[in-house]
Structure 1
Amino acid sequence: MIVFKKKITFLNLIICQFIFISAYSQIQTNTAESYFNSLYKFMYTNQDSTQLYKQKLLDLSVNQNNVEQLIYTYIVSNKSTLIFNNMDELENNLKKLDSLFPVAEKEIEVFNDFHEVKNSYFHDKAVFNIKTYNYKKAKINLDKIFKYAKKTPDSLLTDSHRGLIDVSYKVMAKMYSNNKEYELAIQYLDKSIRFINSKNTDHKEYLINGVNRQKGDIYKKLKDYKKATYFTTKALNYTLKHNKSNTNQLINEVYNTVDNYLALKQYDSASYYLEQIKPLADTNIPYGFLYYKSRAKLNEALNNTESIQEDYDKALELLNRKWNGLKQVEIAETLQSYSNFLISNNQYNQALKQNAAAITHVSGKDVVNSSINQITLFKLLQQKALIAMRQNQSDSVIKNTYQATRLLDTLKPHFKNKTDKLLLIENAYSVFENGLQATYNNYKSNKKNAVNDAFFFLEKSKSTLLLEALLSVKAEKFGAIPNEIIIKEDIYKNTITNLEKQLNQKQNDVFKDQLFEVKSNYRTFLDTLENKYKDYYNLKYNAEVTTIKTVQKELKPSTAMLSFFYGNDAIYGVILDQDNTYFEKIELNQALEQQLKLFQKQISNPKTDILSLKNNAAKLYTILLAPFLDKVNQPNLIILTDGLLNYIPFESLVKDNHYLVENYAVSYINSATLLKELENKKSRKNNLLAFAPEFEGDIYNSVRSKSLQPLPHSKVEIQNINQYYKGNLLINKDASLESFKTNASDYGIIHLATHAIFNDTNPEYSYLAFGNEASDLLYTADLYNLNLNANLVTLSACESGIGNLKRGEGLLSLARGFYFSGAQSISSTLWKINDASSATLMSDFYKNLSKGQSKDLALQQAKLNFMKQNKDNALSHPYYWSAFIISGNTEPLTSTHYWLWVLAGILLLVTLGILLKKYKN
């Protein structure tokens, strides 16, 4: 057998959108060298010539029985097939390589760069997997490259092999970006940057530019167009200067740049860059269609409608030629853009035609059931519902909304990352809003089941992550998960949280790499867990929501529930008690939004004029509550808030010059389904664990440089509570974070009289302070790793309920974090509170609880007592009493020492009575 003794060295990696490999060769014969040089010469520009020289090399290699040369030929050919999008040829090449590598390993002397060539083969398989939407196999092939990189000393890697490893990170990022998992994609791109900077390579600028290109694409998808423009124009300018011959890359970068400038309404810049690719528009390259798609969008923005349909038709013609009759998401997305244009011009029948054509490319028996196809299908169902809405076809809208909702349920488990899952939910809001508008139309027409449909959509739009967290706990308990597996998951979660906290304090590449590896391993662990334990998976991702009938059955006779949806054009609400249900729509405009924001500003400032505040509160009552409470009027009211309504303490709204709290005990929850889960959790312990840490004034912690001033009334506050609930009071230095972590799971009532600091940039790094040092801070992220059994957690702290507003999830706050950790109900605050008034309110709150009152009633009565005692002074301002809210399961605390004594006294009297009666007889 002839051994290929001289090697091909891979110097540069150049492929398609995100892969690149080119090489020069020193071949055994002049003939082979000539063929390889011709193959490289035409690989970007002429597919027929590439095929010709590939076949010459294959014939030569077979005649020479040269396995090594065969492998190199197929590897280089792979790069050309990707450039010209020839998936059939790539698949055939990979099958040939599947059979050649075992021969190379077993029957011939393995050539010097064997591992580099084999990793290039794994990479090509991954790209093929991605293009055919088999992301699971793509990840397996890329992981083989990463595994080799981890175990191989850097000194043994060639410059081109390092480039191959780096580009594999970019491929993984591209895969996650396609899948709408943007945070994961950025993690892999940041890993690519660190990898590039840690290696001695001659192509650093080129490799970093690849990261810029992909980050620009991701930020465009995230609609952060300024950041997208920064990265994309940086990448484009580099390509124009150094790599203009890579026409696919150039036209793709111009397309993204034009899109960004269109979103920013900078039309001159969009026109300028579009002209850069006009000469490429009709050439036989895979991305030529993007010129026509971009021009259509630009003309649409400029209201030049004459050629738009022609441009879309031309783009689709080039796309169909590119994919040669295959069903493809790229075609579906272009059809969707075309349909959007037709919708904007009221051509609904034509829009529906393009929408239907798009759907055939991402669903059906002959289409791969991949996540990217499902995500695109979801968007198309959104669009289809919008068209039906414009045509006043309410039943069709509802049908499409149900279908889109079912699809959303199948997609959510795929998103392991909280940030990406929230983005998915936020982008889905228009589906629910259209569905609610359609159900409202049917409701006004007295159609059967309209209010049931509305309540279903309301529930589906709310608190996905929080509900999933509670279901996850249930799944671990009932899903037959071995304890050692649960412990392993806890270790992963704690390690991730600790590394993130360290990075939050100080940026460090070593920690970043450690965090990257741990998160990657954790995702693999979760995939294995969910595949192996089906009961666990089914329980954790149970997509069922509660129904109106179930809620009505479980509501107490004196209780009503009011669920809101805060949309773009309207606020929808359903109110129900045991016997009645009503559905209302409130028109939403800028004036109402400004009124809500003004009220939140007024009520959170004790210096606000109270007459002006009450006037605004009365107007908001008329708009937000009167349409519902005029129909259903029960003294206990559970409110499911949404959007800006999360910031409003409804008990401070005014009717007939009386605050709502004077007539209603109000509580809050994210969704009725979540409340049902919380009510299924029972804690029999009602022992108290209370904290009043010491703060020393003008000392700044190292994390946020935030002054933590003394809280002089916090100790009195927990001592007052201790009159009604016995337990463990931790004061000053004893009230440490370590004490909290050690003891919290053993107590049914947890009271924290301390500072809370909110992090606007990253809400998960908001924290409760147990002292002035960085080590004394309990972050929201820490709460995800705790396992509490608390019936009630009270956060008597500044701003404990305020958080970053995400649609459908309520406030991402410390209070919400305690639900993740296992609390059944939470008393928290909506703004910075007064230390002294807090102590008074909390004392009365716990006193009322100890008498067996429900939590909502106990807090209402505490507020009323406070208002009565301060009716003639400045403390009557609602700033002082309405910040505290109660959320979750509001059932009474089942047993208290107060009532034990009362019961004991009654039993004693009964016993004495019996004995006295016997004595008389």
Structure 2
Amino acid sequence: MQYFLYPVDVQAQTLTPSQQDSLVQEIEATIYSVYEQYFYTQPDSTFRILETVAQQAETYQLWDIQITSLLQAAWCAEYHTQIDTLQQYLNRIEALTHQHVVALDTLDASGEIRTNVAYTRGSFYYNIGDFTSAIHAFNEIVQPQALVQINDSLLVADVFTYLASSYYRLQNYQKSLTHYRIVDQWLPATSEAPNYQLGYRKTLNGLHQARCYFTIGKYNHQPAAYERGKRLAHQSLAFFNRQKSDARFYNPIRSAINILVSVFQEQQQYDSALHYLSQSLALSSDGSELLLNTYNTLGATYTLMQDYPKALKSYQKSEALADKLLPKKHYQRAAIYTRVGQVLAAQHRWSDALEKYQQALAQLVVEFNASSDILTNPVYRDVGARKELLEVLSYKAEALWGLYQQQPQETTSLQSALEIYHLIGNILDEMRQGFPSVEFKQFIASHFFGIYEQAIRIAYEMHQRQPASGQFLAQAFHFAEKSKSFILLEATQETQAQSFGGIPDSLLEQERTYTRRLSILEQQRDGIADSNSQEAVQLEQQLLITQDARQKLLQQFEQNYPEYYALRHNTNVASLADVQASLPANTVLLSYYLGDSSLFAFGISPNKIVIDSIANLTALGQDVDHLLTFVRQYDWEAIKDSENSQQWAKSGHTLYQQLIGGVLDSLGSKPEKLVIIPDGQLGYLSFDVLLTEPVPETMSTKFGSFPYLIKELPLRYEYSASLYVRQPSPENTISNQYAYTGFAPEYKNTPLLAENTVTRSGAGTEVFYDLLYNKEEVQQVSGLFNSQIFLDDQATEQAFREFAPRSSLLHLSMHAFAHDQDPMYSGLVFSQADTTTEDNFLYAHELYALQLRSNLAVLSACETGIGQLARGEGIMSLGRAFKYAGCPNVAMSLWKVNDRTTQRIVQSFFEQLADGADKDIALQQAKLAFLAKAKGPLAHPYYWASLVLIGDDLPLTTSPFPYTIFIGLALLLLVSIIVLIKKRRKTT
């Protein structure tokens, strides 16, 4: 083939325009031929020809052609995982774009070359494992204003693919899936790109989505997503296998097989895994990154089979291939060393495993020496491959614990492990701030929850050895707090920052507009049955654009309002000293961490701190289950059975001893108040019903006489000790237009049940029956305060949205429902009258987008305090959503509540509040007053123990209803009249 029309020494000015056009056409044809013949199979030939093309273009000052040739070479290097070569080409390309910037303004008027350079820069960052920088580079291309100017939709599709892959590597799986689903909308039906096939690209994108669905299903416990991932992977593999004679299909085949093998590993179907891996290895290849991954997957399979020699042999092949393909420092090398370390750790060869982990860390952290002592840890510097760094750090900490088990006389390994866990905490905080979505932060909290359990265990072990210093007890508490309710803590900080950060209301309103827009778009997207439809994907794109706009606004806040930004992001957890200093003299705080194998209980009084550990979680879980089953529903047949009642009473007392009594005894304290920070399954438990003394068998059905904890102490709860410490003080409370706003809708369906069995529970969007006492409840309470109430058809979602943000007290007496599968769709049911544009279901995800400034929200409805348990964040309930929206104090229910008894307790609660009682005492007295009058079955905890208080115990600052002023004036007037009458009598 003859590649060029003109010799190198001919100057560009000697060419006529037609000659120059001919030369350009010839060069472009050469580039196309190289791509078609050599690109996928012969990289050296590709580089040689493209270098010649670039030199020819330079000779004739065709700067755009020269850069285009080098870009093609860079992309070939990327395809063959020749990262050093890719970097060399990228450096040359960027130098040329700077050198010829003026000429390129004319030669590249459309900006195509600049876009391709940004694309190459992003791909380089991706390949070296700096996924955060890759995202920044690719986002330059797909900004809304940039997308309008791009004619090459295939390039846009490739950019979205890279973005999706980068988010996947950073463990933001949902955002990754969103980007992958957008890819299909940009793939053109035809393209001038060599060998372009729409079916191939769509199948490849489906394979990427399969990986996301599988991972989301695995980590978020969503079986439907898991199965969808498997199905897509099988479909992709079937498509690619039909064309496996083509070398272009080798890598996709290996990708599909690796995904399917991970499924087989999960299901312990190792023979199937080995069968598929043998197919992958049978594909002829001179080596690629995906072949390296195949060897890693094979090694992992053998490790699970406990065939450690074969596992190590597989990893040796991976390492040999890495030496051929990768730079001396690369995140993929770290992954190999980490996997080898896991094999050695499985054999309890802890020292050998630690040496491998040191090698892995040296691959990921600049200036860390692999030959360092195995107890030495790196100083953290931001790295793109955070997933790999977190993995190797956590495995190293586990190996240090294993080393301590072998050498218990030495505690230096434990101290080294504690250093690592602090480092992991810092990295996780950085990850949360880098991706502000609630969903991602919730994933981080759940996925890394177990790391904190091991950290607490090690700190507890050190505290047992060195109790006097208290430093390890403080560290155990620190790790427990790091695992709790980060999202709520951040929301609380945001509320305070908005109030005291000096930021203009117009900008805050702009952010709220973006937040509302995101909520609406998410609701619209979730309402579409086919998530892959064009409508759904278009909504995904609008979501990304709105998220980007909101993120840019937040960056503006950071630059222009540093005080606001500092307040907003001050999410450091409270220390033990902070909590202890904040406790009144009469109060004890009990904080729990419920892990997979241990329960840790922290008891904090103003003058002492203790920690207790419970290892038998099976028995604990059984007692909690017994108690919850008994109190959540009133079943007369079960209750009148004294054996059932006795079992419940036994569980209630056992739990008191384990959770409360033992800790209080260790504290040597008899507090007047308790603050409970529950965790895990304990979040479903009303501690009111724990029994401070055993119940004699003869008294097992006389529920009113039981020694409930609520009879001794008022209780309140919080999601974390950090939230307890940061409760807003009264002087920082925002004044509102309305003191009290109550809602009591009518549903226009006559209840079919007997009065004493009517509950305030809805069931999705089905028929709702009228409540008999909700309007009475709101009307009676409204007489205690300066009020605004909405009854019957006026109690709408629209009225709530308008008046709730301006009310100090919110009272919602209505139906509610908890959504088991998706807690964001738990909701409150307003009047179903068709008088507004709203649907009159206030969902949790809508509350997350609201800005409420109420001091107290009383959710007098069913199951407002329960929902799906999200590890590391707590129970995703409606009550939690109100707290997120800005209500520091929430009264909510832990099970379905009876209409009549709830009315009595809530009314009494508000009466106590109006008289100036502390919130926790007000709720305690309301329950005790009910119990004192309850006869027979009504004394059962089902009727009175469901309502719990989250927040502070401060009395209300809300002024009572003005009638008290009128009464005072009337009394004053009466006294004046009496005085005047007496004076007149004296004068006569």
Give me the TM-score of the superposition, normalised by structure 1: 0.89
In the alignment, structure 1 residue 331 sits paired with structure 2 residue 333: yes
Specify the code of the residue in structure 1 equivalent to 2:741.
L
Q: CA deviation at 1:115?
A: 5.6
| In 2, Cα distance between equivalents of 1:378 and 1:6 | 58
In the alignment, structure 1 residue 839 sits paired with structure 2 residue 839: no
Instruction: Give the conservation status (yes or no) of the 8 Å contact 1:281–1:292.
Output: no
Match of 1:794 in 2: 858
In the alignment, structure 1 residue 784 sits paired with structure 2 residue 784: no
User: What is the DSSP-based 3-state SS (H/G/I as helix, E as strand, rest coil) of the residue aligned with 1:406?
Assistant: helix
In the alignment, structure 1 residue 893 sits paired with structure 2 residue 970: no
Match of 1:626 in 2: 661
- More moved, 103-112 vs 717-726: 103-112
Match of 1:578 in 2: 606
The equivalent position to 1:351 in structure 2, one of 337, 350, 353, is: 353
| In 1, Cα distance between equivalents of 2:853 and 2:31 | 73
In the alignment, structure 1 residue 663 sits paired with structure 2 residue 716: no
The equivalent position to 1:172 in structure 2, one of 149, 154, 163, is: 163
Specify the code of the residue in structure 2 equivalent to 1:497.
S
| In 2, Cα distance between equivalents of 1:883 and 1:136 | 50
- Aligned residue runs from structure 1 range 287-302, under 5 A: 287-302=290-305
User: What is the DSSP-based 3-state SS (H/G/I as helix, E as strand, rest coil) of the residue aligned with 1:581?
Assistant: strand
Specify the code of the residue in structure 2 equivalent to 1:415.
F
Q: CA deviation at 1:166?
A: 1.4
User: What is the DSSP-based 3-state SS (H/G/I as helix, E as strand, rest coil) of the residue aligned with 1:391?
Assistant: helix
In the alignment, structure 1 residue 678 sits paired with structure 2 residue 736: no
Match of 2:745 in 1: 693
Match of 2:757 in 1: none
The equivalent position to 1:878 in structure 2, one of 941, 947, 950, is: 941
The equivalent position to 1:733 in structure 2, one of 762, 779, 793, is: 793
User: What is the DSSP-based 3-state SS (H/G/I as helix, E as strand, rest coil) of the residue aligned with 2:141?
Assistant: helix
Instruction: Give the conservation status (yes or no) of the 8 Å contact 1:493–1:785.
Output: yes
- More moved, 357-366 vs 900-909: 900-909
Instruction: Give the conservation status (yes or no) of the 8 Å contact 2:63–2:100.
Output: yes
Match of 1:317 in 2: 320
User: What is the DSSP-based 3-state SS (H/G/I as helix, E as strand, rest coil) of the residue aligned with 1:728?
Assistant: strand
User: What is the DSSP-based 3-state SS (H/G/I as helix, E as strand, rest coil) of the residue aligned with 2:430?
Assistant: helix
Against the structure 1 CA distance between its residues 210 and 426, is the aligned structure 2 distance closer, same or farther, given a 3 Å change threshold? Answer: same
| In 2, Cα distance between equivalents of 1:511 and 1:352 | 48
User: What is the DSSP-based 3-state SS (H/G/I as helix, E as strand, rest coil) of the residue aligned with 1:303?
Assistant: coil
The equivalent position to 2:402 in structure 1, one of 390, 406, 418, is: 390
Specify the code of the residue in structure 2 equivalent to 1:885.
V
| In 1, Cα distance between equivalents of 2:207 and 2:956 | 57
| In 1, Cα distance between equivalents of 2:393 and 2:104 | 56
User: What is the DSSP-based 3-state SS (H/G/I as helix, E as strand, rest coil) of the residue aligned with 1:306?
Assistant: helix
The equivalent position to 1:823 in structure 2, one of 883, 887, 890, is: 887
Percent identical residues: 23
| In 2, Cα distance between equivalents of 1:344 and 1:45 | 40
Q: Note the alpha carbon deviations across 1:4-27, whole angstroms, 9 max, x for none.
A: 98999xxxxxxxxxxxxxxxx997
Against the structure 1 CA distance between its residues 422 and 320, is the aligned structure 2 distance closer, same or farther, given a 3 Å change threshold? Answer: farther
Instruction: Give the conservation status (yes or no) of the 8 Å contact 1:841–1:866.
Output: yes
In the alignment, structure 1 residue 745 sits paired with structure 2 residue 805: yes
Instruction: Give the conservation status (yes or no) of the 8 Å contact 1:850–1:898.
Output: no
Q: Note the alpha carbon deviations across 1:566-606, whole angstroms, 9 max, x for none.
A: 10110101011112211000114344334423432321111
Against the structure 1 CA distance between its residues 98 and 753, is the aligned structure 2 distance closer, same or farther, given a 3 Å change threshold? Answer: same
Against the structure 1 CA distance between its residues 32 and 60, is the aligned structure 2 distance closer, same or farther, given a 3 Å change threshold? Answer: farther
In the alignment, structure 1 residue 189 sits paired with structure 2 residue 211: no
Match of 2:447 in 1: 427
| In 2, Cα distance between equivalents of 1:248 and 1:505 | 36
In the alignment, structure 1 residue 596 sits paired with structure 2 residue 618: no
- More moved, 92-101 vs 582-591: 92-101
Specify the code of the residue in structure 2 equivalent to 1:208.
K
- Aligned residue runs from structure 1 range 105-124, under 5 A: 119-124=115-120
- More moved, 302-311 vs 181-190: 302-311
Instruction: Give the conservation status (yes or no) of the 8 Å contact 1:371–1:411.
Output: no
Q: CA deviation at 1:52?
A: 2.1
User: What is the DSSP-based 3-state SS (H/G/I as helix, E as strand, rest coil) of the residue aligned with 1:756?
Assistant: strand
- More moved, 781-790 vs 574-583: 781-790
Instruction: Give the conservation status (yes or no) of the 8 Å contact 2:689–2:709.
Output: yes
Specify the code of the residue in structure 2 equivalent to 1:258.
V
Instruction: Give the alignment's Cα RMSD to 1 decimal.
Output: 3.6
Q: Note the alpha carbon deviations across 1:802-849, whole angstroms, 9 max, x for none.
A: 122112212222111111222121100011111111101111111222
Against the structure 1 CA distance between its residues 729 and 108, is the aligned structure 2 distance closer, same or farther, given a 3 Å change threshold? Answer: closer
Specify the code of the residue in structure 2 equivalent to 1:440.
Y
Q: Note the alpha carbon deviations across 1:296-326, whole angstroms, 9 max, x for none.
A: 112122222222223223312322332231x
| In 2, Cα distance between equivalents of 1:676 and 1:875 | 37
Q: CA deviation at 1:265?
A: 1.4
Against the structure 1 CA distance between its residues 228 and 149, is the aligned structure 2 distance closer, same or farther, given a 3 Å change threshold? Answer: same
| In 2, Cα distance between equivalents of 1:388 and 1:466 | 33
Instruction: Give the conservation status (yes or no) of the 8 Å contact 2:365–2:383.
Output: no
User: What is the DSSP-based 3-state SS (H/G/I as helix, E as strand, rest coil) of the residue aligned with 2:770?
Assistant: coil
Against the structure 1 CA distance between its residues 281 and 252, is the aligned structure 2 distance closer, same or farther, given a 3 Å change threshold? Answer: farther
Specify the code of the residue in structure 2 equivalent to 1:682.
T
| In 2, Cα distance between equivalents of 1:397 and 1:790 | 44
Against the structure 1 CA distance between its residues 615 and 59, is the aligned structure 2 distance closer, same or farther, given a 3 Å change threshold? Answer: same
Q: CA deviation at 1:648?
A: 0.6
Match of 1:814 in 2: 878
Q: CA deviation at 1:516?
A: 3.4
The equivalent position to 1:249 in structure 2, one of 252, 256, 261, is: 252
Specify the code of the residue in structure 1 equivalent to 2:656.
Y
Against the structure 1 CA distance between its residues 641 and 548, is the aligned structure 2 distance closer, same or farther, given a 3 Å change threshold? Answer: same
Instruction: Give the conservation status (yes or no) of the 8 Å contact 1:756–1:800.
Output: yes
| In 2, Cα distance between equivalents of 1:775 and 1:126 | 44
Instruction: Give the conservation status (yes or no) of the 8 Å contact 1:688–1:727.
Output: yes
Against the structure 1 CA distance between its residues 148 and 627, is the aligned structure 2 distance closer, same or farther, given a 3 Å change threshold? Answer: same
Q: CA deviation at 1:679?
A: 3.4
User: What is the DSSP-based 3-state SS (H/G/I as helix, E as strand, rest coil) of the residue aligned with 1:471?
Assistant: helix
Instruction: Give the conservation status (yes or no) of the 8 Å contact 1:177–1:185.
Output: yes
| In 2, Cα distance between equivalents of 1:264 and 1:567 | 24
The equivalent position to 1:614 in structure 2, one of 637, 641, 649, is: 649
Against the structure 1 CA distance between its residues 34 and 315, is the aligned structure 2 distance closer, same or farther, given a 3 Å change threshold? Answer: same
| In 2, Cα distance between equivalents of 1:893 and 1:141 | 52
Match of 1:565 in 2: 593
- More moved, 122-131 vs 795-804: 122-131
Specify the code of the residue in structure 2 equivalent to 1:544.
N
- Aligned residue runs from structure 1 range 211-226, under 5 A: 211-222=205-216, 223=218, 225-226=226-227
Instruction: Give the conservation status (yes or no) of the 8 Å contact 1:32–1:60.
Output: no
Match of 1:20 in 2: none
User: What is the DSSP-based 3-state SS (H/G/I as helix, E as strand, rest coil) of the residue aligned with 2:290?
Assistant: coil
Q: CA deviation at 1:373?
A: 3.1
Instruction: Give the conservation status (yes or no) of the 8 Å contact 1:851–1:898.
Output: no
The equivalent position to 2:774 in structure 1, one of 711, 714, 718, is: 714
Match of 1:18 in 2: none
Instruction: Give the conservation status (yes or no) of the 8 Å contact 1:696–1:709.
Output: yes
| In 1, Cα distance between equivalents of 2:690 and 2:563 | 46
Give me the TM-score of the superposition, normalised by structure 2: 0.83
Match of 2:484 in 1: 462
| In 1, Cα distance between equivalents of 2:387 and 2:403 | 25
Match of 1:500 in 2: 522
User: What is the DSSP-based 3-state SS (H/G/I as helix, E as strand, rest coil) of the residue aligned with 2:949?
Assistant: strand
What 5-or-longer segments of structure 1 have no aligned partner? 9-24
Specify the code of the residue in structure 2 equivalent to 1:420.
F
| In 1, Cα distance between equivalents of 2:109 and 2:263 | 42
Against the structure 1 CA distance between its residues 544 and 804, is the aligned structure 2 distance closer, same or farther, given a 3 Å change threshold? Answer: same
Against the structure 1 CA distance between its residues 399 and 149, is the aligned structure 2 distance closer, same or farther, given a 3 Å change threshold? Answer: closer
User: What is the DSSP-based 3-state SS (H/G/I as helix, E as strand, rest coil) of the residue aligned with 1:85?
Assistant: coil
| In 2, Cα distance between equivalents of 1:164 and 1:203 | 14
In the alignment, structure 1 residue 277 sits paired with structure 2 residue 329: no
In the alignment, structure 1 residue 856 sits paired with structure 2 residue 920: yes
Specify the code of the residue in structure 2 equivalent to 1:60.
Q
